[in-house]
């Protein structure tokens, strides 16, 4: 069996920081599609005339898209093939707006972990994710608790 790209519970010590390699430029099409798919009628995301009259002067990227992208950018390095389930998100923040054309990068830190009490083959890891735009400005943060697989036990002779 090959090792999946994600990390197993044992490979995620508290204090580990991962800079995620993949980045993503958010486009107007991304924002409009996400906003309409999620049934969000907020004119700040959809109506250029309305948004021009706000303090931002233009439409902004839907913050739920920013959050989804932040978590998504971490998947390949952290949880691809090793996640059992997301258990919850907390302390979500958006200190700066994201605009069409911003390129987002992410980093993650392991801030807590413990063995699962009910599943001997898994452990609970808490990640703190941070998203930055192309200017290095922090645009989103969140904590995520995830149930992560433990490394498979190797049978003797294999």
pLDDT single digits (tens) 6-26: 999 999 999 999 999 999 999
pLDDT at 136: 98
Q: What percent of the chain has pLDDT over 70?
A: 97
pLDDT score at 24: 98
**pLDDT score for 156:** 59
Structure tokens at 95: 């200190």
User: What is this structure's pTM?
Assistant: 0.93
pLDDT exceeds 60 at position 36: yes
pLDDT in tens, 101-132: 999 999 999 999 999 999 999 999 999 999 99
- Exposure letters 135-151 (e unless 16+ CB within 10 A, then b): eeeebbbbbbbbbbbbe
3-class DSSP state of 54: coil
- 103, 122 Cβ separation under 8 angstroms: no
For the chain, domains (ranges, CATH) are 9-27+61-149 (3.10.129.10)
Give percent helix, percent strand, percent coil of the chain, each to the nearest 5.
Answer: 25, 35, 45
Where does the chain have alpha helices with state H?
28-37, 43-46, 48-52, 63-78
């Amino acid at each position: 069996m090959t090792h999946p790209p994600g990390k197993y519970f044992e490979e995620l010590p508290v204090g580990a920081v991962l800079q995620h390699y993949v980045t993503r430029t958010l486009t107007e099409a991304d924002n409009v599609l996400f906003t309409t798919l999620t049934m969000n009628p907020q004119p700040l995301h959809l109506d250029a005339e309305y948004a021009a009259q706000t303090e931002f002067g233009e439409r902004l990227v839907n913050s739920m898209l920013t959050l989804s992208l932040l978590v998504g950018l971490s998947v390949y390095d952290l949880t691809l093939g090793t996640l059992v389930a997301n258990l919850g998100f907390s302390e979500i923040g958006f200190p700066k707006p994201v605009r069409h054309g911003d390129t987002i990068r992410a980093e993650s830190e392991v801030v807590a972990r413990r063995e699962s009490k009910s599943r001997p083959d898994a452990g609970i890891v808490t990640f703190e994710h941070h998203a930055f735009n192309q200017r290095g400005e922090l645009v989103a943060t969140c904590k995520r608790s995830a149930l992560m697989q433990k490394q498979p036990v190797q049978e003797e002779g294999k």
